[in-house]
Each structure stands twice: as C-alpha cells, then as structure tokens.
Amino acid sequence: MLLMVNWELYPEKKLDAFAAFSQMTAEDDAADVGPDITVIGRWHDLASGTGVAIIESDSAEAVSGWMYNWAEVISSTVTPVLDDEAARAVVKAKLAG
C-alpha cells in the first residue's frame, strides 16, 4: 500500500531534529525506517520545518513504529494514496456501477 507521510517539526525541537537527521548515515536511515517500509521518495522544506514522504508498506505497525521514532520532534499524519493507474481504476469501477 502506498502512503503519504506529512510532518511538521515542533518549532522548539527544530534544531535538535536537524542535528539528529544530519548525522544519520544511509545505514542509520534504513534501521530507522525498518525492513517493512520502502521509502519511494522524501522531500524536506527546511525553512518551514515540514516535509512529505511517499512510502510503501503493508504494516500499520511498522509505519506507526517509524513515526514513534520521531514523535518527540514532529507532528505527523499518514494517509493512504493511489498512483494515477490505481486512481483511474477505482473511479472507472465506481462509474460503471
């Protein structure tokens, strides 16, 4: 399942979060995300302290665990999303009755 993760850093924790994230290696990042999540892409707006990621996972527990890792410094939302092909299929099926 594709999921969109939006986050916003708590203003008073912004520099702490930047410091922690900037020191992470690719291995640290993989361990933080865990084996049951594939990160499709992740984008950061450093000025506002916000960002978005598209991930793939079939495990609500894994996604919740990843969000927990950052809960001290971010507020986050996780939303199921569809790519164009899947969205078209859903709409076509609904319109067909």
Instruction: Centre a 10 Å sphere on the Cβ of residue 57 and count the other Cβ atoms it contains.
Output: 19
Residue 20 amino acid letter: A
Residue ranges of the domains in the chain?
Answer: 2-95
Burial class (CB in 10 A: 0-12, 13-18, 19+), 9: buried
Q: What pTM was estimated for this model as a whole?
A: 0.92
Length in residues, the chain: 97
The segments of the chain whose pLDDT lies below 50 read none
CATH T-level fold of 2-95:
Alpha-Beta Plaits (3.30.70)
Give residue 59's pLDDT: 98
Residue 74 DSSP SS3: strand
CA 77 to chain centre: 8
Is 67 in contact with 8 (CB distance < 8 Å)?
A: no
Residue 97 is predicted with a pLDDT of 87
